[in-house]
Amino acid sequence: MNETTKPDAVAQMRDWWRTEIIEMKPGVIRFRGYAIEDLIGQVTFPQMIWLMLRGELPAPAQAKLLDAALMSGVDHGPQAPSIAIARMAATCGVGLNNAMASAVNVLGDVHGGAGEQAVLLYDDVQSRIDAGADARAATEAGLADFVAQHGKIIPGFGHRFHPVDPRSPRLLALVDAAAAAGVVSGKYARIAREIESVLLAQKGKGIPMNIDGATAVIYAELGFPAPLARGLFCLSRSVGILAHAWEQTQQGGRNKGPIPRQYVPTYDGPAPRPVPSQ
Amino acid sequence: MNETTKPDAVAQMRDWWRTEIIEMKPGVIRFRGYAIEDLIGQVTFPQMIWLMLRGELPAPAQAKLLDAALMSGVDHGPQAPSIAIARMAATCGVGLNNAMASAVNVLGDVHGGAGEQAVLLYDDVQSRIDAGADARAATEAGLADFVAQHGKIIPGFGHRFHPVDPRSPRLLALVDAAAAAGVVSGKYARIAREIESVLLAQKGKGIPMNIDGATAVIYAELGFPAPLARGLFCLSRSVGILAHAWEQTQQGGRNKGPIPRQYVPTYDGPAPRPVPSQ
Amino acid sequence: MNETTKPDAVAQMRDWWRTEIIEMKPGVIRFRGYAIEDLIGQVTFPQMIWLMLRGELPAPAQAKLLDAALMSGVDHGPQAPSIAIARMAATCGVGLNNAMASAVNVLGDVHGGAGEQAVLLYDDVQSRIDAGADARAATEAGLADFVAQHGKIIPGFGHRFHPVDPRSPRLLALVDAAAAAGVVSGKYARIAREIESVLLAQKGKGIPMNIDGATAVIYAELGFPAPLARGLFCLSRSVGILAHAWEQTQQGGRNKGPIPRQYVPTYDGPAPRPVPSQ
Amino acid sequence: MNETTKPDAVAQMRDWWRTEIIEMKPGVIRFRGYAIEDLIGQVTFPQMIWLMLRGELPAPAQAKLLDAALMSGVDHGPQAPSIAIARMAATCGVGLNNAMASAVNVLGDVHGGAGEQAVLLYDDVQSRIDAGADARAATEAGLADFVAQHGKIIPGFGHRFHPVDPRSPRLLALVDAAAAAGVVSGKYARIAREIESVLLAQKGKGIPMNIDGATAVIYAELGFPAPLARGLFCLSRSVGILAHAWEQTQQGGRNKGPIPRQYVPTYDGPAPRPVPSQ
């Protein structure tokens, strides 16, 4: 708590906010060592996302897979809380940035976390394979452990709405092509399919891979740590959030509630009663 | 951009975050000069709110009026976007703090700004009275100017749901009692009632004062600047937001959408079409 | 997915948003059965907070304890991330509601969750006492379990800044008085003091109860479930957040960064390098 | 308020959330008429952003310009409030989605709105040219009007830190190339350069185009409405926000304040004083 000026006070301040991402000097902006004026026109938006998060530029084929994962998850309609919130916010007299914030904010463990959890599940199965288990046994053990710890909802598999998620087979086909070309190993695609197979055997009906399961395959194949699966989903879904907030802005409306005003919510609490004297 | 240590570097840092609200030293916390250990047990939560925002403690009768404004606006049901958002967020796997943030965030110009705008309208009418206009003429001129600048929705008056807002007469009665006791002037209550009267004469039907109009009277009588009418509403509505987020947490549910899942939103866009080759 | 009108479609919609908190009809607003016009002027803001969260009105002495917990935690200065964020947001061209949202949002497990965790810790110790352990043994076992599961930071005890937190003794004195008057049991105050005593014995130096530990005693004594300790802290800290956002608004500034502009953060990443051709 | 089931209740519900963006049926997801399985692998992330916001797919050369605008604005270092907030939030025990939300939320009129305002300024100058003014006169008149209405800070021009913003010339070079190829008109690039020229003449020193001014040229050339300039900036900056939140997560820390804990903010308020008796 010594408030005397110490010789290193400025150095302490600068270090408090130290970063390996961006270097700033007057007239100079470098990302991970690359001058911004060199990056512009050379490097695509998905490549830039990779550079910012990973520290190095991806190979073009890696960037293409990342691109597919990002573009495929932008939106799943106004039934999703995030999209509904964006639309409601857009009628409340706040900016698009605010509508986006309220919406991205709810991409939590349940709404936006399945991709992250799926990567962790895949990693767990892979570590069992690395330790010598065969794929089937490793998958069964990984699933059993997951259910014991987290309950019966398997992240990345099954959908309340779609019997088959039309996005998953296409994304997996891209992974297969990339694996065939040596861009990725393909081992996470195999694990995800093994999980589908085990779930089918255990439940007697298909619990097919959904968008979270399929993008998690891509993120895991590309070497992203699990928490970034959520982060990347937030970037992706931000596009749908923005598009719906903007569409609602153009449709107009003020204080859009979740249901039209004539459908008053059911009240289930105590009957009318007087306030007791204090 | 001189990065040499300057004698005043620490002073600059400390001044960058200077405040008149709170003084911190090890073992010492003072708000506006009052030691926290002296305030605790002596000063109520509404009095503390006043102290934090205004710099001095209120008289008890002033604090009582502020208390009434705060307690009266806590909630208006799940049809309000803020409350619906809190409930939806609570099913997405985020904390109560996050659910509160997404919800408070949408208390923007349309959803949470009416109180602030009403204070500005009252101030405008009052300044016309101060300049010599009689109350009726000042109110008519103030309303006409407001409509010309902002459109026909008068902040603080009328309600899509309630023909009469049951909160307003009670709050105004408290203001009247405070005015009779010399706690406040009562001039903003007069202006608000004059606005009701002018709107009735102009529209041929009642556009009665709503909760925003009534709490704006209290905030204006108590001398709060207009933007704090919104800030205080945010504090007040945070209570309902928290209560609904908590009730939803206890009800359970995952990814609660705005309508039950079987009611798929209408799609109004282009018919199915193939992706053109790029 | 049957989209035909079913006789119960409206009932389903209404039930989707059912609540026990608020009943709305045109001209009618009741909270937990109490008409708002009866509550206004009779019930204080802290009493209303209790009613909203608990379903019944508190006794006045209970409300007084809640009030003290709420007023004591409003602010801990701009070194806290929540307060700093509020001030920075206020310079970015967003509303006070938005500044409050960005700030309340970060009252997460680390910044705002200590009260919730402390209630859980107290409950655990109490359940050991209920099972027959003496207070010392129950406390030692509870602490040992907590450290094993969550690490060595004990929620509600110790402070990086204050050797003694001036708020805690005052809040505990209020709890003692309420216990003496039969308002609360006092058992959570005993547990919290036992924790202090055990920590002192184990560490050889005081790790005194801080604001989170002391307010957690109050919330636990009053019967609030642990997650509401965080929720109530969010309400309380929202006051300081608003006050600092407002003070910053009046001070002015544009895009206030964390440190003055002349102190450029340290860059630790790769040295300048050319972008490889793609 | 008629709560009887009406034949159209379900239709009303579905229409309440109608959209032209996404069509959902079990097993079917179409965006603007395109099946998602056809889009995946065919359409890049920037093309998808365009489709979501504009309703039609862009030509590849249009998408390339959009891509450059998006990748160039991802980050400007921890001195920016948005980035600092993301880093602070990451130490508070919240998810990456929450850290992103608190940060994106502050991209308001001052911090994130310059691009939007620049598009409006360019449009205003262009409308004067369309009405017959020459470029110089239109620009001078547009600037004069802007300053009269909004003050002397011209959105998109000048920088507190960079004498020349290294991003702008590169982005304008891409616009020039696109104009030469007939992809865009180039008229907004001309206006932006005319603004630079007028400002230089008026101020006697360069107030060069910054990143907001340059990306606004691209967005205007591509036909995006002004509010989407802000929305697109939010998407772009979300990348830097995520990257810094993630870097901070890896660096660790708890409750990171804006300055190291030893630099206590200056307190400027009242001297210590006793609480008056109530």
Give me chain B's average pLDDT, please: 94
Q: Which residues of D fall within a CB distance of 8 Å from C111?
A: 91-93, 255
Chain B residue at shortest CA distance from A109: B93
- Better-scored residue on pLDDT, D207 or B7: D207
- Better-scored residue on pLDDT, B27 or C217: C217
- B2 has pLDDT over 70: no
Q: What percent of chain C has pLDDT over 70?
A: 97
Q: What percent of chain D has pLDDT over 90?
A: 87
Give the pLDDT of residue C7. 55
Q: Which 3 state secondary structure label does DSSP give A112?
A: coil
A262, D166: Cβ pair inside 8 Å?
no
Rg (CA), chain B: 24
Mean pLDDT of C60-86: 97
D9, C13: Cβ pair inside 8 Å?
yes
Could you list the beta-strand ranges (E) of chain C. 22-25, 28-31, 34-35
Give the pLDDT of residue B3. 44
Instruction: Indicate the length of chain D as a whole number.
Output: 278
Task: Count CB atoms within 10 A of the CB of residue C60.
Answer: 11
Chain D residue at shortest CA distance from C101: D102
- Partner-chain residue, chosen from A34, A38, A278, that has the shortest CB–CB distance to C60: A278
- B239 has pLDDT over 90: yes
CA distance D238 to chain B (A): 17
Cα A237 from chain centre: 8
Chain D residue at shortest CA distance from A249: D227
How many alpha carbons fall within 13 Å on the CB side of residue B170? 20
- Partner-chain residue, chosen from B14, B102, B264, that has the shortest CB–CB distance to D265: B14
The token pair at C193 is 């003091």
CA dihedral C223, C128, D93, A66 (to 10 degrees): -120
What would the pLDDT profile of D139-151 be if each residue is shown by its tens digit? 999 999 999 999 9
- C133 has pLDDT over 50: yes
- D3 has pLDDT over 60: no
> Taking a C-beta distance cutoff of 8 angstroms, is the pair A186, A176 a contact?
yes
D87: Cβ contacts below 8 Å, ≥ 6 apart: A17, D78, D244, D245, D247, D248, D256
B132: Cβ contacts below 8 Å, ≥ 6 apart: none
Q: Where are the alpha helices (DSSP H) in chain B?
A: 9-16, 36-39, 45-54, 60-72, 81-89, 96-104, 114-130, 135-150, 167-180, 187-203, 211-221, 226-251
> Taking a C-beta distance cutoff of 8 angstroms, is the pair C238, B45 a contact?
no
What would the pLDDT profile of B97-154 be if each residue is shown by its tens digit? 999 999 999 999 999 999 999 999 999 999 999 999 999 999 999 999 999 999 999 9
**Confidence class for position B7, pLDDT limits 50, 70, 90:** low
The token pair at D164 is 């020349």
Q: Report how far residue B105's alpha carbon sits from residue D249's, in angstroms, rounded to the nearest whole number.
A: 25
Cα C210 from chain centre: 13
- D1 has pLDDT over 80: no
- Partner-chain residue, chosen from D40, D104, D166, that has the shortest CB–CB distance to A167: D40
B148: Cβ contacts below 8 Å, ≥ 6 apart: none
Q: In what order do the strands lie in the sheet with B22-25?
A: B22-25, B28-31, B34-35
What would the pLDDT profile of A135-146 be if each residue is shown by its tens digit? 999 999 999 999
The complex's ipTM?
0.96
Give the pLDDT of residue B206. 87
The token pair at A36 is 């911004």
**Confidence class for position B264, pLDDT limits 50, 70, 90:** confident
Give the pLDDT of residue A167. 96
- A239 has pLDDT over 60: yes
A127: Cβ contacts below 8 Å, ≥ 6 apart: none
B105, D105: Cβ pair inside 8 Å?
yes
Chain D contact probe: residue of A17, A24, A76, A211 with most D CBs at under 10 A: A17
Q: Report how far residue D210's alpha carbon sits from residue D153's, in angstroms, rounded to the nearest whole number.
A: 13
Q: Which 3 state secondary structure label does DSSP give A23?
A: strand
- C123 has pLDDT over 90: yes
What would the pLDDT profile of A188-226 be if each residue is shown by its tens digit? 999 999 999 999 999 998 899 999 999 999 999 999 999
Q: Residue written as tokens 């407002």?
A: C246
DSSP one-letter string for A69-108: HHHHTS---TTSHHHHHHHHHTTTT--HHHHHHHHHTT--
What would the pLDDT profile of D229-250 be if each residue is shown by its tens digit? 999 999 999 999 999 999 999 9
Chain A residue at shortest CA distance from C257: A17
**Confidence class for position A6, pLDDT limits 50, 70, 90:** low
- pTM for this entry: 0.96
**Confidence class for position D163, pLDDT limits 50, 70, 90:** confident
- C62 has pLDDT over 60: yes
Q: Which residues of D fall within a CB distance of 8 Å from A259?
A: 13, 16
Q: Residue written as tokens 């991402």?
A: A21
Q: Report how far residue A245's alpha carbon sits from residue A260's, in angstroms, rounded to the nearest whole number.
A: 18
CA distance B129 to chain A (A): 31
Subunits adjacent to chain B (3 or more Cβ pairs under 8 Å): A, C, D
Mean pLDDT of C224-249: 98
Mean pLDDT of A239-246: 98
- B4 has pLDDT over 50: no
Rg (CA), chain D: 24
- C88 has pLDDT over 60: yes
A40, D113: Cβ pair inside 8 Å?
no
A1, B80: Cβ pair inside 8 Å?
no
What is the 8-class DSSP label of residue C265? P
> Taking a C-beta distance cutoff of 8 angstroms, is the pair D265, C247 a contact?
no
Longest dimension (CA), chain D: 79
What would the pLDDT profile of B167-185 be if each residue is shown by its tens digit? 999 999 999 999 999 999 9
What would the pLDDT profile of C160-200 be if each residue is shown by its tens digit? 788 889 999 999 999 999 999 999 999 999 999 999 999 99
- Partner-chain residue, chosen from A16, A258, A272, that has the shortest CB–CB distance to C30: A272
Q: Which 3 state secondary structure label does DSSP give B1?
A: coil
How large is the angle between the packed helices C135-150 and C187-203, nearest 10 degrees? 70
Chain B residue at shortest CA distance from C249: B227
Considering only B90-94, C45-49, C206-210, D38-42, which range has the smallest mean pLDDT?
A: C206-210
> Taking a C-beta distance cutoff of 8 angstroms, is the pair D209, D159 a contact?
no
Subunits adjacent to chain D (3 or more Cβ pairs under 8 Å): A, B, C
**Confidence class for position C5, pLDDT limits 50, 70, 90:** very low
Looking at this protein, which amino acid is placed at residue C19?
Answer: T
Strands B22-25 and D22-25 come out as unpaired
Q: HEC states along C99-134?
A: HHHHHHCCCCCCCCCHHHHHHHHHHHHHHHHHCCCC
Rg (CA), chain A: 24
